[in-house]
Amino acid sequence: MIWSKEETMNREQIEEMQLKRLKETVKRVYEKVPHYKEKFDKMGIRPEDIHNLSDITKLPFTVKDDLRANYPFGLFAVDQNEIVRFHASSGTTGKPTVVAYTKKDMETWSELIARVVTMAGVTDKDTAQVAFGYGLFTGAFGLHQGLERVGAGVIPMSSGNTKKQIMIMKDFKTTTLICTPSYALHMAEVAREEGLDPAKDLYLKWGLFGGEGSSESMRQELNRAWGIFATENYGMSEIIGPGVAGECSALTGMHINEDHFYPEIIDPDTGEVLPPGEKGELVITTITKEALPLIRYRTKDITTLDYEKCDCGRTSVRMSKIQGRTDDMLILGGVNVFPSQIENVLLHVKGIGPHYQIKVFKKGYLDKIEIDVELIDSNLLEYFPQLEALNREIQSELRTVLGIDSKINLVEPRSLARFEGKATRVIDMRKNEKL
Amino acid sequence: MIIKQLSIFIENKKGHLALVTNVLRKENIDIRAISVFDTSEFGILRMVVNKPEEAVNALKEAGYTAKVSKVLAIQPEDRPGSLNEIFNILDENNIDIEYIYSFVMRKRDMPFIIFKVRDEERAIDVLKKYHIQLVAEEEIYEEN
């Protein structure tokens, strides 16, 4: 099912709408946001210089630091009394980045989530358990209001209290699980500890995962563990929160809500726009946001765009799964590796669990990577050499697929950290050494 | 003749043996023999206990990767060269020993030798042929 007609407009209609909205947005930020006026003036750009969509490249980028530098409300294009909702990102250091919504922004947001959850299979007959943390984080409230709009029954569980999550899931006959993929993985494990087979003893049909990227193998793992049809959705608080893009049942990428967000792919080093299909950093311009319009916001997420019409009937451009972030790429002795690639390799190895912890450090001048994985297959305990062989198998897979030399530590089941929100699976000790 | 032994994966870290044996103690399980095969990071803890099935279930429930493995137990004669003879016999018959350890039960004068081979049935046949005394399962589990 397709929620709104905007999802099936032809390219010409989409672009016409985008251009009109882009012009309005540029004019508005020039008039209302001193940060943008200053930048535009310095670059000698006037809002009238935008004649077609490709003129967007004349405009400056916006980065997360611009939000921090203008803390809390410096980038808002409306007065505070027009704001009906605030959210903030989980800044681990210093001030958070604050985002806000007008009444119309809230209307847009829930409409976009309604599209995304519909794409994922959810209807008014479903009961959805939202296991994102409710609070300043946009994830929970974002999904919540869109699910209600679709008519689904919403259980605002928040994250954590996992045993209770399972109990509610069983007793309320939850059909839809909303959380981060890593929390879903952890929950399945807890359900099994409680003596339940999540795929058989519960009623889940849909899993809508977001808040962090995940690999295709992780999806398989989640489908198997829960007996669900798992989809991924994409968003970030600066842009609007969840609702920027989502996967449909064709699973050929996440449909971007293009009538509200204009996407570009750039070379993260040069800032040059890359042609469709090429891999690079996703840049988004919000073209309808009232409270916090952002021009060419650099998401740091690495992806590709596909403009071909999808089998589902939607015409909107699709972004591939996030293949990494420009700031989480690990450089190991000159080899570039994203943690997501390591995850993909590990999830294909039999005998170990889906949880892992990556540690990167320097030994002398050399970059070293150690990966902890949990041994779960007891059949490997028969002869000691079987464990050594498993160790070598993982090492050799990582070497063949990614070109990295690693040390693998087999650890006891349930000994690695579990996450109720976004997972932090990489500890890069080299960063601390520089301080 | 075939003895059930527990094989448990443990990390080579301070306190981990205590954690594993806590589980068995809670279930009132008696350990007859214990041995660890390890590297600097991890190891396989092998134990002969009086209630192997109960023990392995309790360990799995506590989150350990654990299984019941089949091993053989023999009772060598008390004289110089008796163990050497047994090893020679196994070697001549092409039976490879994966690991071996010994233990004593208080009621007996002589230690038992536990060892692991790939083909237990064939090893039993060979040992019987040479009149090596195999230990029955009940003798190991019986009250000390």
pLDDT at A29 over 60: yes
Pairwise CB contact (< 8 Å): B37 & A409? no
Mean pLDDT for the stretch of residues A225-249? 97
pLDDT at A431 over 80: no
Instruction: Please give the pLDDT value at position B4.
Output: 95
What pLDDT was estimated at residue B1? 78
Please state, in angstroms and rounded to a whole number, the distance separating the CA atoms of residues A180 and A132: 7
Min CA distance, B77 vs chain A (Å)?
28
CA separation for the pair B123, B78 (Å, rounded): 21
Residues of chain A neighbouring B45 (CB-CB closer than 8 A): none
For residue A227, give the nearest of A172, A169, A168, A171 by alpha carbon: A169
Searching chain B, which residue's CA lies closest to the CA of residue A386?
B44
SS3 B96: coil
Q: Of all residues in chain A, what percent carry a pLDDT higher than 90?
A: 83
Mean pLDDT rounded to a whole number for chain A: 94
A186 chain-B contacts, CB cut-off 8 A? none
| Contact (CB<8Å) B8/A381 | yes
Q: Which chain A residue's Cα is nearest to B38? A: A384
The pTM for the full model equals 0.81
Residues of A in contact with B10 (CB under 8 A): 412
Asked if A409 is an interface residue toward chain B (Cβ–Cβ < 8 A), one would say yes
User: Phi then psi for A286, rounded to 5 degrees?
Assistant: -80, 130
Q: What is the pLDDT along chain B (144 residues), one digit of tens a residue?
A: 799 999 999 998 999 999 999 999 999 999 999 999 888 888 999 999 999 999 999 999 999 999 999 999 999 988 999 999 999 999 999 999 999 998 887 777 778 899 999 999 999 999 999 999 998 888 887 765
A-B CB pairs within 8 A amount to 53
Residue A167 has pLDDT above 50, yes or no: yes
Distance of alpha carbon A174 from alpha carbon A126, whole angstroms: 8
Span of A51-55, A334-338, A374-378 with lowest mean pLDDT: A334-338
Whether B55 contacts chain A with CB within 8 A: no
Asked if B74 reaches chain A (Cβ–Cβ under 8 Å), the answer is no
CB–CB of A382 and B69 under 8 A? yes
Question: What would the DSSP string read from start to end of A341-408?
Answer: HHHHHHHTSTTEEEEEEEEEEEETTEEEEEEEEEE--GGGGSSHHHHHHHHHHHHHHHHHHH---EEE
* pLDDT tens, residue by residue, A180-204: 998 999 999 999 989 999 999 999 9
Which residue of chain A comes nearest to B5, CA vs CA?
A382
Q: Label residue A363 by pLDDT band (50, 70, 90).
A: confident
Report the amino acid identity of residue B115: F
Q: What is the ipTM of this complex?
A: 0.87
Identify the residue with better confidence: A244 or B78: A244
User: What is the distance in angstroms between the Cα of B98 and the nearest Cα belonging to chain A?
Assistant: 7
pLDDT band at A434 (very low <50, low <70, confident <90, very high): very low
Measured between beta carbons, the chain A residues lying within 8 angstroms of B99 are 384
Distance from CA of B26 to the nearest CA of A (A): 19
Distance CA B92, CA B81 (A): 16
Site of tokens 């932090």: A424
**By CA distance, what is A414's nearest residue in B?**
B63
Strands (E), B54-138: 66-74, 97-103, 112-117
The reply to whether B57 touches chain A by the CB within 8 Å rule is no
Instruction: Find chain A residues with C-beta within 8 A of B98's C-beta.
Output: 383-384
Element (H, E) at B9: strand B2-11
Q: Does A382 touch chain B (CB under 8 A)?
A: yes
Give kind and range of the element (H or E) at residue B55: helix B52-61
Can you read off the two tokens belonging to residue B8?
């448990």
Query: Which of B41, B63, B65 shows the shortest C-beta gap to A381?
Result: B65
User: Between residues 33 and 52 of chain B, which touch chain A (CB distance below 8 Å)?
Assistant: 37, 39, 41-42, 44
Query: Domains along chain B?
Result: 2-69 (3.30.2130.10), 71-141 (3.30.2130.10)
User: What pLDDT was estimated at residue A91?
Assistant: 56
Q: Which string of DSSP letters, residue by residue, matches A99-168?
A: EEEEHHHHHHHHHHHHHHHHHTT--TT-EEEE-SPPSSSHHHHHHHHHHHHHTPEEE---S--HHHHHHH
DSSP string, A289-343: -SSS--SSEEEEEEE-EE-SPPTTS--S-EEPPP-EETTT-EEETTEEE-HHHHH
Average pLDDT over residues A325-350: 88
Distance in angstroms (rounded) separating the CA atoms of residues A195 and A275: 51
Q: What is the pLDDT of residues A95-143, one digit of tens each?
A: 788 999 999 999 999 999 999 999 999 999 999 999 999 999 999 999 9
Contact B11 A412 (CB under 8 A): yes
Q: Does B10 touch chain A (CB under 8 A)?
A: yes
Query: Is A389 in CB contact (< 8 Å) with chain B?
Result: no
Please name the residues between 79 and 138 in chain B that touch chain A, using a CB distance below 8 Å. 98-99, 116
B7 touches chain A (CB under 8 A): yes
Q: Per residue in A87-99, pLDDT tens?
A: 997 655 567 889 9
